[in-house]
């Protein structure tokens, strides 16, 4: 029972990060129908910005994360402005190749700036809490709580603000949104900025638990794609639930079957969902 609880907590912590990364991906897909592989690079960049703020500028963890969110929002927005806007009206293949190109470009840039060295991000939350025989680090508690706060914030943004509603409108029908007077270009830019900010939150939260290196985004972006397809392309609740579902499936399958299969589980789930419900588990609505 202790093992189950321990693994449940581990799974939820991992799922929080999966969900945050998948959210940014699904938002962009919903609005622009772009499979943004470069989202993995945004997540990596978010972790690096926090790293630099913490180690070179001596900022506190919260300040570092805030700076990272702002920088990545700008970076995400410029990605749309400099690259994807110019591919408007071209076939989706163009955007896909551009996204892949951006991923490699950003990884290469990080490699030039910081080298392939693995960086360790210091955290003030490095204690361990034991509850009911379950060990959990303070940083993991922070990850879980911060993810929920971010998700609630995103929900409020989408449902209660004009910007959010225009994002939803555009996701449902781009031409319709244009007809009712929504500035679709501005919304596209904002969506990318929000997606960048989400990547920064995810990257900054997980960085102290893992290591920061140029290719760190590649590992998680594949999982995020599985989650987005699992939850339904463009679906926000789908990305959140999909993230927790995948992480729990991996952890539990690892515990009770074998960890050698945990990768298999992720992609097995993907195939299963595609066969039974090709539109994803939560198709409609952003």
Partner 1 sequence: MMSDHPIRDRPRSLGTVLLAGLLLATGCSGDGQGGTDSDGLEVVNIGFVGPLSGGAAYYGRNVQRGITMAADEIAEAGGFEVDGRRFRFEIVSLDDRYLPYETATAVRRLLQQNQTPVILVPHAGGIRVVQEMNTREPKFLLAAYSSEPSILEAENPLMLMLPPRFDGYQEPWVEVMMGRFGTRLALVPTTTAYGRAWTEAVSAEWTRQGGTLGRDHGVDYNTTTDFTGAVSRALADEPDVLFIGGPSQPTALVIRAAREQGFEGGLLIMDQAKFMEMLDIVPIESLEGAIGVYPVETYPTPGAPLFAARYYERFGADSPSPTSEIAINYQALYLIARAMTLAGTTTDPEAIRARADEAARTLPQEVRVYEVAGVTDVGLITRDVFTAHIVDGEFVSIRIPVPGGAP
Instruction: Write out the residues near partner 1 by the rule CB under 8 A.
Output: 2-3, 6-7, 10-11, 13-14, 17, 107-108, 111, 116-118, 120, 128, 130, 135, 137, 140, 206, 209-211, 213-215, 218-220, 223, 250-251, 254-255, 258-260, 262-263
Least distance in Å: CB of 190 to partner 1? Answer: 29
CB nearer partner 1, residue 43 or residue 282: 43
CB 154 within 8 A of CB 201: no
137 membership: H or E segment, kind and range = strand 134-137
Least distance in Å: CB of 63 to partner 1? Answer: 24
Least distance in Å: CB of 15 to partner 1? Answer: 10
CB 25 within 8 A of CB 225: yes
Q: Which of 106, 96, 116 is nearest to 44 (CA)?
A: 106
CB 170 within 8 A of CB 187: yes
CB nearer partner 1, residue 80 or residue 107: 107
Q: CA geometry: angle at 88 spanning 85 and 89, to 5°?
A: 170
Structure tokens at 57: 């500028």
Q: Which of 117, 139, 149 is nearest to 61 (CA)?
A: 139
Least distance in Å: CB of 42 to partner 1? Answer: 16
Structure tokens at 24: 């940014």
CB nearer partner 1, residue 164 or residue 243: 243
CB nearer partner 1, residue 232 or residue 254: 254
CB nearer partner 1, residue 135 or residue 161: 135
Least distance in Å: CB of 117 to partner 1? Answer: 6
Which residues pair with residue 119 across a beta bridge?
212
């Amino acid at each position: 029972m202790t093992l189950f609880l321990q693994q449940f907590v581990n799974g939820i912590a991992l799922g929080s990060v999966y969900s945050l990364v998948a959210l940014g991906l699904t938002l962009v897909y919903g609005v622009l129908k772009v499979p943004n592989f470069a989202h993995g690079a945004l997540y990596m960049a978010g972790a690096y910005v926090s790293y630099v703020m913490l180690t070179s500028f001596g900022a506190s963890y919260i300040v570092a994360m805030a700076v990272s969110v702002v920088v990545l929002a700008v970076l995400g927005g410029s990605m749309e402005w400099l690259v994807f806007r110019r591919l408007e009206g071209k076939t989706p293949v163009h955007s896909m190749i551009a996204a892949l190109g951006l991923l490699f470009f950003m990884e290469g840039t990080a490699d030039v700036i910081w080298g392939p060295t693995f960086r360790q991000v210091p955290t003030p939350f490095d204690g361990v809490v034991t509850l009911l025989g379950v060990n959990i680090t303070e940083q993991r508690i922070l990850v879980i709580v911060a993810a929920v706060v971010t998700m609630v914030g995103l929900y409020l943004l989408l449902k209660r603000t004009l910007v959010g509603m225009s994002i939803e409108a555009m996701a449902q029908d781009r031409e319709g949104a244009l007809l009712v007077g929504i500035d679709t270009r501005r919304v596209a830019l904002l969506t990318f900025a929000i997606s960048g900010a989400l990547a920064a939150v995810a990257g900054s939260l997980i960085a102290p638990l893992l290591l920061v290196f140029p290719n760190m985004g590649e590992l998680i972006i594949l999982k995020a794609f599985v989650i987005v397809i699992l939850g339904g392309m463009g679906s926000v609740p789908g990305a959140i639930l999909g993230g927790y579902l995948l992480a729990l499936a991996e952890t539990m399958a690892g515990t009770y079957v074998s960890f050698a299969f945990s990768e298999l589980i992720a992609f097995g789930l993907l195939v299963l969902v595609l066969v039974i419900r090709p539109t994803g588990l939560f198709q409609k609505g952003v």
